[in-house]
């Protein structure tokens, strides 16, 4: 079978895995949180001007663009377009992992295929599953993969690479963490293609940096951090090391057991995980150290200025399963890379340990496999809104509970 056909087949398989985790997300799509409250509502009321409205201190272009495109269709169809866009981003990211362009930094084809399958079935990731608001995190992963991969050989491929980097760079603050990777790649390969990539990331940094400097003080939560060594250890152990393997459902029960009432025990788990990461980095494919340089500072920035609560100490909340899962997506994927590296180690002890961790991961995938959606009356409200006269204000209950979108009908 031709290599291109195999890649398409992989992409279709990854998309099917994503859909299988919650078919209702595709069959009965609805807005998720900010998808309706901010992106669609702003596009509906402000049109193209919404592209230049920062949120949380920076531009979020992918969400704005999809919301603007959705204005050409009935409101009832808009959530489906949002879910489709998120599905495309996640599928493209998984498919890029298995492409031959990644072979220079990750030679093992079987390792890349396994990692891509884990990526689309990842535990402790419901917050980033098929919603446009958090598609920016998956787009950042795709941009990282584009940067570290072998440059495309065709003009179309190079243009798509630069487009992905530009879209990611203008969709969140991730370009600031991609810039060191771009510089690293340019140092190793001072080619025109790498220079073009670096220039795109640098321009995005300039744009997003200007918004961050001028708006971040007024756009981020002012709730206290509640920072402490114990809270940090709980975040790392519960959300990344154990949560990334066993999933949020298992961890939501485990945190009430005796070991998690002891800061000492949790700190020991966190330190053990850190030690395993250090050991694995000496033996891992080249993509993993670069992922650490990308994801490590990103996690530090998330812990410095999180957006989890407006009033309560944030680190305490961030240690709870289901809370702030978007911040842990990339660290969990790095941790999975560490586990897979250990599982293929020549050292028997490390290999056995890595294999046991992989078995825990499979158990976590099973436990966190499916998602349950809370029913709302969005479809009914959307039909009523379509028939309502101009000037009618309608409130839509969205998922998750507590989010509500308010639209005032405009004249055609």
Please indicate, yes or no, whether residues 40 and 165 belong to a single structural domain of this protein. yes
Q: Does the residue 329 lie in any domain? A: yes
Last residue of one domain, picked from the residues 352, 367, 382: 367
Q: Does the residue 314 lie in any domain? A: yes
pLDDT value of position 1: 63
Please indicate, yes or no, whether residues 145 and 275 belong to a single structural domain of this protein. no
Residue 219 has pLDDT above 70, yes or no: no
Q: What are phi and psi of 46, to 5 degrees?
A: -110, -10
How sure is the predictor about 152, in pLDDT bands with cuts at 50, 70 and 90? very high
Q: Does the residue 381 lie in any domain? A: no
pTM above 0.85, yes or no: yes
Please indicate, yes or no, whether residues 215 and 233 belong to a single structural domain of this protein. no
pLDDT single digits (tens) 70-83: 999 999 999 999 99
Q: Does the residue 387 lie in any domain? A: no
pLDDT single digits (tens) 163-198: 999 999 999 999 999 999 999 999 999 999 999 999
How sure is the predictor about 374, in pLDDT bands with cuts at 50, 70 and 90? confident
Give percent above pLDDT 90 in the chain.
89
pLDDT value of position 310: 84
Q: Does the residue 409 lie in any domain? A: no
pLDDT single digits (tens) 305-357: 998 988 889 999 999 999 999 999 999 999 999 999 999 999 999 999 999 99
Q: Does the residue 330 lie in any domain? A: yes
Interhelix angle for 287-304 vs 175-188, to 10°? 160
How sure is the predictor about 217, in pLDDT bands with cuts at 50, 70 and 90? low
Q: Which residues pair with 399 in a beta bridge?
A: 32
Please indicate, yes or no, whether residues 72 and 41 belong to a single structural domain of this protein. yes
Last residue of one domain, picked from the residues 219, 237, 253: 219
Q: Which residues form the domain of 282? A: 229-367
Q: Look at the chain and report how many structural domains it folds into.
A: 2
Please indicate, yes or no, whether residues 206 and 260 belong to a single structural domain of this protein. no
pLDDT value of position 218: 66
Q: Does the residue 205 lie in any domain? A: yes
Mean pLDDT for the stretch of residues 369-397: 94
Please indicate, yes or no, whether residues 254 and 214 belong to a single structural domain of this protein. no
Q: In this structure, are residues 25 and 373 in contact, taking their beta carbons and an 8 Å threshold?
A: yes
Three-state SS sequence of 273-294: HHHHHHHHHCCCCCHHHHHHHH
pLDDT value of position 223: 87
Q: What is the mean pLDDT of the chain?
A: 95
Peptide bond between residue 400 and the one before it cis (omega within 30 degrees of 0): yes
Residue 213 has pLDDT above 80, yes or no: yes
Which pair of tokens denotes residue 200?
Answer: 């795109």
Last residue of one domain, picked from the residues 179, 196, 219: 219
Please indicate, yes or no, whether residues 318 and 337 belong to a single structural domain of this protein. yes
How sure is the predictor about 215, in pLDDT bands with cuts at 50, 70 and 90? confident
Please indicate, yes or no, whether residues 214 and 280 belong to a single structural domain of this protein. no
CA–CA separation, 133 and 113 (whole Å): 27
pLDDT single digits (tens) 35-73: 999 999 999 999 999 999 999 889 999 999 999 999 999
Please indicate, yes or no, whether residues 271 and 328 belong to a single structural domain of this protein. yes
Q: Does the residue 160 lie in any domain? A: yes
Please indicate, yes or no, whether residues 68 and 210 belong to a single structural domain of this protein. yes
Please indicate, yes or no, whether residues 87 and 157 belong to a single structural domain of this protein. yes
Please indicate, yes or no, whether residues 189 and 299 belong to a single structural domain of this protein. no
């Amino acid at each position: 079978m031709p290599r291109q056909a195999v890649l398409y087949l992989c992409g279709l398989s990854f998309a099917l895995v994503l859909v299988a985790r919650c078919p209702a997300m595709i069959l009965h799509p609805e807005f998720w949180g900010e998808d309706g409250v901010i992106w669609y509502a702003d596009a509906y009321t402000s049109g193209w001007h919404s592209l230049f409205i920062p949120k949380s201190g920076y531009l979020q272009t992918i969400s704005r663009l999809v919301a603007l495109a959705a204005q050409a269709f009935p409101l009832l169809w808009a959530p489906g377009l949002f879910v489709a866009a998120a599905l495309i981003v996640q599928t493209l990211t998984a498919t890029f992992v298995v492409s031959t362009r990644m072979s220079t930094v990750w030679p093992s084809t079987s390792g890349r295929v396994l990692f891509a399958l884990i990526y689309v079935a990842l535990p402790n990731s419901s917050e980033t599953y098929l919603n446009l608001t958090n598609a920016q995190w998956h787009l950042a992963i795709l941009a990282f993969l584009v940067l570290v991969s072998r440059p495309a050989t065709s003009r179309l491929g190079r243009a798509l690479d630069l487009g992905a980097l530009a879209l990611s760079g203008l969709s969140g603050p991730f370009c600031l963490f991609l810039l060191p990777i771009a510089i690293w790649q340019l140092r190793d390969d001072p080619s025109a293609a790498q220079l073009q990539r670096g220039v795109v990331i640098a321009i995005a940094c300039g744009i997003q940096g200007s918004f961050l400097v001028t708006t971040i003080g007024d756009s981020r939560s002012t709730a206290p951090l509640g920072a402490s060594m114990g809270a940090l250890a709980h975040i790392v152990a519960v959300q990344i090391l154990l949560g990334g393997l066993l999933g949020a459902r298992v961890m939501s029960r485990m945190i009430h057991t005796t070991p998690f009432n002891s800061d000492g025990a949790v700190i020991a788990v966190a330190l053990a995980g850190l030690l395993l990461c250090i050991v694995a980095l000496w033996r891992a494919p080249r993509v993993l150290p670069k992922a650490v340089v990308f994801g490590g500072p990103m996690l530090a920035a998330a812990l410095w200025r999180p957006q989890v609560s407006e009033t309560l100490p944030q680190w305490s909340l961030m240690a709870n399963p289901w809370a702030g899962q978007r911040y842990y997506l990339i660290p969990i994927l790095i941790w999975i890379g560490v586990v897979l590296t250990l599982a293929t180690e020549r050292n028997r002890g490390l290999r056995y340990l890595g294999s046991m961790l992989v078995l825990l991961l499979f158990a976590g995938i099973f436990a966190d496999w499916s998602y349950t959606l809370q029913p709302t009356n969005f479809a009914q409200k959307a039909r009523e809104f379509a028939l309502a006269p101009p000037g009618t204000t309608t409130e839509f209950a969205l998922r998750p509970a507590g989010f509500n979108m308010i639209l005032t009908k405009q004249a055609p």
